[in-house]
Amino acid sequence: MANFLTADRLLKALRDEGLKVVEHRSWRTNNRNHKGSIGPMHGVMIHHTVTSGTMKTVELCYNGHSALPGPLCHGVIAKDGTVYLVGHGRTNHAGLGDDDVLQAVIAEKALPPDNEANTDGNRHFYGFECENLGDGKDPWPAVQLDAIERAAAAVCRAHGWNQRSVIGHLEWQPGKVDPRGFTMDSMRSRIGKRIGTKPTPPTATKPKPKPKPKPRYEPFPGAAFFKVGRNSAVVTAMGKRLVAEGCGRYAVGPGPKWSEADRKSYAAWQRKCGYSGAGADGIPGKASWDRLKVPNV
């Protein structure tokens, strides 16, 4: 007989399957056990929520509403694939369903049509509510479908079940349509393949590297800027670039005060750039300055 998984075992099974799991509020003691027994467990049931907005959905499934007290499931599977645990024990998710369907789930064989509502499903099924409007238009992101597959497979692994122990609400209770937007046969196929392999973490999408910021250089301040008495961080930055280019002629420094050492160093840079004569007098001109690329200060 399959006993309901303890909170720690359920949490570990989900995380071992590579899922991101959030323990929502007091989920470990949030249940409807006073309304009936829980177990033996026979399967996993998948639903859609008919809601949008993750935290709004999680709170609704945790608390329920006036017509249906919570918790409304054991876990909420969000659009981004996160599983929020909201209940542990008996929850209001399955309702009454077909006893023939239950027997097929127990035997892990093909399901008959659900044409009766005579058996308590809340006692025998784990329930996952999946965030979706259920209108056939709201998309199912690949990461969410992957999480549904993983969550169901995790519970099946823990109990030694195969994929036929996973059903949709629409296969259990007459009149239900959830989950709408994918078929349970396709999901069971995915779950079966996963159960047949070792648990693996989700394929991580590498974030695009942020583009490196473009370097910013000091604009040419004009030849008149470079005169005795000038004291500026620009002069220091220029001197450091001259040293880096192998043109430094400094005994000490460079520093912020324009000096003869700065002029001689810049003259060496001008000569390196191909200037001579008056063009290599050590007073910066725009063309040589732009080539030096003095970092912005």
Residue 33 shares a structural domain with residue 161: yes
Other residues' Cβ atoms within 10 Å of the Cβ of residue 2: 16
Residue 69 shares a structural domain with residue 171: yes
Residue 184 shares a structural domain with residue 280: no
Residue 134: per-residue pLDDT: 96
Residue 193: per-residue pLDDT: 97
In a domain, 137, yes or no: yes
CB of 280 within 8 A of CB of 271?
A: yes
In a domain, 64, yes or no: yes
pLDDT along the chain (297 residues), means of 10: 94 97 98 96 98 97 96 98 98 98 98 97 98 97 98 98 98 97 98 91 73 92 93 96 95 92 96 94 96 94
Residue 52 shares a structural domain with residue 163: yes
Residue 43 shares a structural domain with residue 188: yes
Per the structure, the complete domain to which residue 100 belongs is given by 7-195
What 3-state DSSP class applies to 261? helix
Q: Residue 293: is it exposed, middle or buried by C-beta count within 10 angstroms (0-12/13-18/19+)?
A: exposed
In a domain, 1, yes or no: no
In a domain, 204, yes or no: no
In the chain, % helix, strand, coil (3-state, to 5) comes to 35, 10, 50
**Degrees (nearest 5) of the Cα angle 175, 176, 182?**
135
Instruction: Find the DSSP H helices in 37-141.
Output: 54-63, 99-107
In a domain, 203, yes or no: no
Residue 18 shares a structural domain with residue 110: yes
Residue 137 shares a structural domain with residue 183: yes
Q: Write down the residue that tokens 């996963």 correspond to.
A: 194
**Tokens coding 73:** 């499931």
Residue 19 shares a structural domain with residue 161: yes
Other residues' Cβ atoms within 10 Å of the Cβ of residue 244: 10
CATH number at residue 95: 3.40.80.10
Residue 44 shares a structural domain with residue 153: yes
In a domain, 171, yes or no: yes
Residue 154: per-residue pLDDT: 98
CB of 169 within 8 A of CB of 179?
A: yes
**Degrees (nearest 5) of the Cα angle 47, 52, 53?**
115
DSSP symbol at 9: H
Q: Write down the residue that tokens 């570990």 correspond to.
A: 12
Specify the DSSP element, H or E, that contains 125: strand 125-130
Strands (E), 170-258: none
| C-alpha span between 154 and 10 (Å, rounded) | 8
Q: Return the closest-CA partner of residue 25 out of 100, 96, 87, 99.
A: 87
Q: Residue 45: is it exposed, middle or buried by C-beta count within 10 angstroms (0-12/13-18/19+)?
A: buried
In a domain, 211, yes or no: no
| C-alpha span between 189 and 194 (Å, rounded) | 9
Residue 112 shares a structural domain with residue 50: yes
CB of 179 within 8 A of CB of 132?
A: yes
**Tokens coding 96:** 């009454």
Residue 250 shares a structural domain with residue 144: no
What is the pTM for the complete model shown? 0.70
How many structural domains is the chain composed of? 2
Taking every pair of Cα atoms in the chain, the longest distance, rounded to a whole number of angstroms, is 104
| C-alpha span between 295 and 241 (Å, rounded) | 8
Beta strands 96-97 and 119-120: pairing type? antiparallel
In a domain, 200, yes or no: no
